[in-house]
Structures are given as C-alpha cells and as structure tokens.
Amino acid sequence: MTRPATLAAAFAPFHELADELLPHAFSGEDGSHDAAHLIRVWKNAARIRAEEGGDARQLAAAVLLHDCVAVEKNSPQRAEASRLAADKAWQILDSLGWHRAEISSVAHAILTHSFSANIPPETLEAKILQDADRLDAIGMVGAARCFYIAGRMGSGLYDPLDPLAEDRPLDDKAFAIDHFETKLFRLADGFQTAAGRRLALERQQRLRDVLTMVLDEI
C-alpha cells in the first residue's frame, strides 16, 4: 500500500499539510473516493483557483478531508455524509492548532460540497471545492466512476429491453446508465465559478459521447 508520505507529494506545495491530513482522509474502501480521487479533485481545485483566487491552504485542507467520513451511495444517511465529514474535519484541524475562523471556512466548504446535501456554498473556497469535486463526476472519469459504483451496488449496466427508459421510470439503483440522466447530466448546470462552468461543459460533452458509444454498441 502506498504510504501517505508518498501521496503527499501530489498536493504540493502543501505536502506537509497532506502528511498531517491523509491519515484521516479515508474511512472506507470505496475506490471511487480514494487517494486518486483526492488527487484529481486537488488538481481540479488548483486549476480553478488559478483563475478565481481563494485561500490555497484552506482549499487544500478541504480537498483532503472532504470525504473523510464514508457513507455508501445507497445508505439512508447519504445526505448526512458531508455534515459528518465537516464535523470530523473540525475536530482534526482543531487538534492541529488551526484558528477557529480557518476551521469554520474549511468545514463550510466540506459541508456544502455534496450534491446530496443540497446546501449552497457561500465562500469562494466552498464554491471551488464543490466545482472541483463535481468535475470528477462527469467526463470520462465520471463515467468510469459511475460504472464502478454500479458494480459495487450490484446494479446492471442498463435495461436490456429499454436502455433509455422510454417506457419506464428511470432507476439508477438498478441500471448504471440511468444515473447519467438522473444526476450526471444535471451537474453541469450547477457549477459555481466561471472556470468550473467552462471545464464542466467540456467534460459533459465527453460524458454524452460515452453514453452515445454505449448505446451504439448495445
């Protein structure tokens, strides 16, 4: 298993902060919310921040801890995941001596990043985290994560008789490609920053291309 110290280099220039926070960053075995996901979200966040601004250290902490409490997609507590993660992040950063205002900012970003929580982000850092995390849910990686999660949940890829749900209700718990319509295609409309919106449009087209190719092959 890769050691946190090795992974920390991916969060430069905040590798020392990553050394402190990576041991607390995961609480489950979900490969769609793993170290690779954190690194991708950090790259997305850094790219957006380069255009939009924001406090880089707070953003790094929010990225590192935004999934620190794992709640399965099919759990009735799913909408509480970001609140639980924000509470845990508060305790962790407090133990490391962070100032209360900084902790509050990081916790707010974590609380509001989740689609399931449906809480509007109020700070620039929170808006960037939400955009950076949602970018990882669309595009080619988003499609791969969707199929991975469907496999973990025991879902099928598609309804063999009605893949586009033309004569049935959409059911993304039963069929992976239904999730494209119930959630993934809707994400591009909710981006908070100009940079995030531009990147989202590019990735949403890739996601549509994936669905088109799947439908062609079946």
Taking only the tens place, the pLDDT of each residue in 161-196 is: 999 999 999 999 999 999 999 999 998 888 999 999
Secondary structure (3-state) at 175: strand
Lowest mean pLDDT among 1-5, 85-89, 181-185: 1-5
In this structure, the answer to whether residues 180 and 205 fall within a common structural domain is: yes
In this structure, the answer to whether residues 12 and 87 fall within a common structural domain is: yes
In this structure, the answer to whether residues 92 and 26 fall within a common structural domain is: yes
In this structure, the answer to whether residues 103 and 1 fall within a common structural domain is: yes
Percent of the chain scored above 90 by pLDDT?
Answer: 77
pLDDT at 81: 84
The whole-model pTM stands at 0.90
Query: How many domains does one find in the chain?
Result: 2
Averaged pLDDT for residues 7-35: 87
Q: Is there a domain that residue 126 lies in? A: no
Residue whose C-alpha is closest to residue 96's, from 133, 53, 65: 65
Q: Which two tokens stand for residue 103?
A: 């902790």
pLDDT at 6: 79
In this structure, the answer to whether residues 141 and 100 fall within a common structural domain is: no
Which of the four pLDDT bands, split at 50, 70 and 90, describes residue 80? confident
pLDDT at 71: 75
Which of the four pLDDT bands, split at 50, 70 and 90, describes residue 70? confident
CATH number at residue 150: 1.20.58.1910
pLDDT at 31: 75
In this structure, the answer to whether residues 205 and 155 fall within a common structural domain is: yes
Q: Is there a domain that residue 132 lies in? A: no
Which of the four pLDDT bands, split at 50, 70 and 90, describes residue 114? confident
In this structure, the answer to whether residues 155 and 209 fall within a common structural domain is: yes
In this structure, the answer to whether residues 108 and 211 fall within a common structural domain is: no
pLDDT at 16: 94
Residue 2: exposed, middle, or buried by beta-carbon count in 10 A (0-12, 13-18, 19+)? exposed
Q: Is there a domain that residue 129 lies in? A: no
Q: Is there a domain that residue 130 lies in? A: no
pLDDT at 49: 97
In this structure, the answer to whether residues 116 and 158 fall within a common structural domain is: no
In this structure, the answer to whether residues 1 and 108 fall within a common structural domain is: yes
How far apart CA 91 and CA 138 sit, in angstroms, is 31
> For residue 215, what are the domain limits?
137-218
